[in-house]
Amino acid sequence: MIRQMARKMARTMARKMARPGNEAGVIMIGTALDSPGGMTAVVRLYRDMGVFAAWNVRYLASYERPGMLTQMPVMAGALAAFVWLLLRGQVRLLHVHAAARGSFWRKSVFCALARRFGVPYVFHLHSGEFPVFYARECGPRAQRWVRRTLEGAHALVALTGQWQAALAQIAPGASITVLGNPVRVPALLPAMPVVSARQPPRLLFLGRLRDKKGVYDLVRAMPAILARHPGAVLTLAGDGDLDGTALLARALNVGHAVRLPGWVDGAAKDALLADATLLLLPSYFEGLPVCILEAMAEGIPVVASAVGGIPEVLDHGRCGVLHAAGDIDALAQAVLALLDDAMRDQARYTALRRAAHARALHVYSVQAVQAGIDALYGQALARGGDAGMVR
């Protein structure tokens, strides 16, 4: 049954890609665009900000959702379409978006095919767990394949300078470039809801509800926060372990202050950001979280753990406040200190908001990232002896 589904999906995608007028261009591969997650949000913004149109990008989804009955035919269909395009000479550049584990292995197959056909590729790494995956979960042969894949890329994209250094330790022969995630940034600093005794703080988390994201630490920090701000509300917006999170909140007697709307996007997410006093992200692993950039763009102060690329982005005390991952007391104290500023020291609070907004505008705006993508694609195509796509 699985093989039949895979063959059907492969034939359908191959026929679609074979239609007249599909001239050579950039093939981009990642998770289905209607799937939740920060990596997909980045790709959707690439599409919306004009990258797909400017560079004739065709997107292939190699993954949609968990479950072998879904994964196998989706991957088979993407591979069939990619091979068909390669055979017809319709691939000038491959751009893969990857995380760790299964995401890496899937994308590495496409990269191997690109090498075989002499097509340059960009390996865009989004996972904050990749060093752990490489060092602890890959044996010697798997590590050699990881290095071969990364070092064979025209460009290995790191999200921050910190990740550039970390990836250089794994693949010293790779050509690593830093390209941040894009975010839409208002030209002017947006107004913030006033925090007062009559308007209690609204704390926001955006992401998957699981241990690695520090969600349970957030719930455990709520008793200390509510002791000083009894009207505070924590909204945990995301998919994942909603039942377990709700159970923990009730066990700690903070269930009345915890909201679990599930995964939100679009206008619903915009409304939560517009109403938020602080964004909280006490993760144990991160690359460059999109939710932090979205908060900075709106001038929302951020409290986050000092992991992955977060310290480079927030610059502790300037654009946000950092704490050690897993330190629940430090998390609570950081939140309380910023809430005190919001209510009593408006100058410090406003300075932090302005710095965060300015950094998002100058480094992570759509315009800034678009320029980086244009340069990356142009260099890859010119190096491959095909500069016809350079704008």
Rounded mean pLDDT of 285-302? Answer: 95
Length of the chain: 391
What per-residue confidence (pLDDT) applies to 68? 67
Residue 21 has pLDDT above 60, yes or no: no
Q: CA-based angle 209:214:218, to the nearest 5?
A: 95
Summarize pLDDT for 76-109 with one digit per residue, the tens.
999 999 999 999 999 999 999 999 999 999 999 9
What per-residue confidence (pLDDT) applies to 384? 62
Beta strands 176-178 and 302-305: pairing type? unpaired
What per-residue confidence (pLDDT) applies to 391? 36
Minimum mean pLDDT range among 11-15, 130-134, 368-372: 11-15
Strands (E) across the chain are located at 25-31, 57-63, 91-98, 121-125, 155-158, 176-178, 202-206, 233-237, 258-259, 278-281, 302-305, 321-323
Separation of alpha carbons 216 and 220, rounded Å = 6
Q: Where are the alpha helices (DSSP H) in 56-139?
A: 68-87, 102-116, 130-137
Q: Are 146 and 117 in contact (CB under 8 A)?
A: no
DSSP output for 260-284: ---S--HHHHHHHHHH-SEEEE--S
pTM (two decimals): 0.87
Rounded mean pLDDT of 261-275? Answer: 94
Percentage of the chain beyond pLDDT 90 is 82
Domains contained in the chain, CATH given: 2-181+366-389 (3.40.50.2000), 202-363 (3.40.50.2000)
Structure tokens at 186: 């208002």
Per-residue confidence at 67, pLDDT binned at 50, 70, 90? confident
Residue 8 has pLDDT above 60, yes or no: no
Separation of alpha carbons 70 and 341, rounded Å = 49
What per-residue confidence (pLDDT) applies to 276? 95
Separation of alpha carbons 193 and 190, rounded Å = 10
Residue 388 has pLDDT above 50, yes or no: no
